[in-house]
A and B are shown apart, each in its own frame.
Chain A
């Protein structure tokens, strides 16, 4: 069914939703009027072919084609030099649908949730002005490292896909405020994500996380963190695998922990170097050091004064714990509460 839209003079918004449209004819619309249209809504229609007449609306800034049957975006879309927002949720787009030069557009907000993307198209990663990208509810299996090219990105919504890992390059999105990775298959968070200093909200619910990297504590501006529906470790892990240290390491530990001075004139260079490599045990009540032999340990940290999250870190030995308490859980509380301010994280949705 064709419709001849009446465009009210001076009104830059044209809404043609829910009209069973499969075609859009703008022949009767004068050039002057075409230039006036800034926002066009064609949602909930029957478009299976992109209505190319849209590309004649030279001042179009906002285009919403959600809930149609579109499979391809034409080359001519790049003619919309002023297009800032493109929304096309719930169509049939996939990673082959977009033209080669789509990446040259000045789009700031792109929402293609509810489509059939199996990967993020290369062209999207060239949209240098992009502030907001939503590909929720698609079929993405991974995030490319080139995501870091979107250096102005503030909002990244990738919930409801099949993503199993996060590239550390994601941490280079210094402007990122909102990161949504819920309803995926993420097994671990790269510690580099602690570099996302602008992050205000992190959505990780319904994934396959068993712990978080300790570095997450440095996300000082984080206000929202959702972790429910993850197989997070809830009980203190008692049996920890531990390869006993070598004689070299035992000797090294003794020297370091007793602060025995050593000079290059005392020892061969390789041993001096080895001693310099000692790592201090992160347990603040322990003065121990370790070289290679350490215990991977899940530690529960109070994030906002109330909830305890399992964070991964290393101890010098399985025996390393506070001498004042026999209960490891309460020991964790007393150690960590003082180091993490209660107001740092306001809301954590768990379990």
Chain B
């Protein structure tokens, strides 16, 4: 499989162009995408127009509809905002910090027999410009802005495009479809 030359995308528009090119093919190289997304150095003036914060919870803001193979969105997290524990419904999910920090907690998939709490696998803090990757085979995760003083903004790439995900809690036999994507 041919790999696109790793050229550092200088602007957000550059990054979007490169991603369109990469996703022309039907298969993608996860590491390649992760490296390219991480290589873009966040410049707030380039993405601020997409970053609509909500006082009460995190928001999803569409940046690019991709070519039907992926979509790109910016998530805005106010102080203390966090997500539920969720899956990625058979999609690749890349998450890059554009501003601030986010805590990612990984969980095991619950099995039919377990009646107790969700089993935590690991936890980490993602710093500005870092890019994380997750898919269903890796597990479920919760993402939170644990800061009480700073907001956070993250760039998310989903392939296939994001429409909904399932939510889990410690009584994991309850599943729920989450909200839809909000467009700018």
Contact = CB atoms under 8 A, between A and B. Distances in A.
Partners in one complex: yes
A232 to B, nearest CB: 9
B171 A308 contact: yes
Nearest to A349: B84
Nearest to A155: B55
Contacts of A34: none
Interface string A286-313: 0000000000000000000011100000
A136 B148 contact: yes
Interface in B22-41: none
B121 interface: no
Given A182-B80, A203-B80, A351-B118, A90 B56 contact: no
Interface centre among B79, B169, B174 (most CB of A within 10 A): B79
A183 B118 CA distance: 20
A157 B148 contact: yes
A178 interface: yes
A183 B170 contact: no
Interface string A306-323: 111000000000000000
Contacts of B84: 347, 349
Interface in A29-62: none
Chain A interface, DSSP helix/strand/loop, else mixed: loop
Interface residues of A, number: 32
Contacts, number: 67
Given A89-B149, A136-B148, A349-B82, A201 B176 contact: no
A272 B94 CA distance: 71
A136 B169 contact: no
Given A136-B148, A351-B85, 7 more contacts: A155-B55, A157-B80, A224-B56, A306-B176, A347-B84, A350-B169, A350-B170
19 contacts: A113-B79, A114-B149, A136-B148, A137-B148, A157-B80, A159-B79, A159-B80, A182-B80, A183-B146, A183-B148, A201-B55, A234-B116, A234-B117, A306-B174, A306-B176, A347-B84, A351-B85, A351-B117, A351-B118
**Leading 4 A-B pairs by shortest Cβ distance:** A351-B170, A136-B148, A137-B148, A160-B148
Interface of B: 55-57, 79-80, 82-85, 116-118, 146-149, 169-171, 174, 176
Interface of A: 66, 89-90, 113-114, 134, 136-137, 155, 157, 159-160, 178, 180, 182-183, 200-201, 203, 205, 223-224, 226, 228, 234, 306-308, 347, 349-351
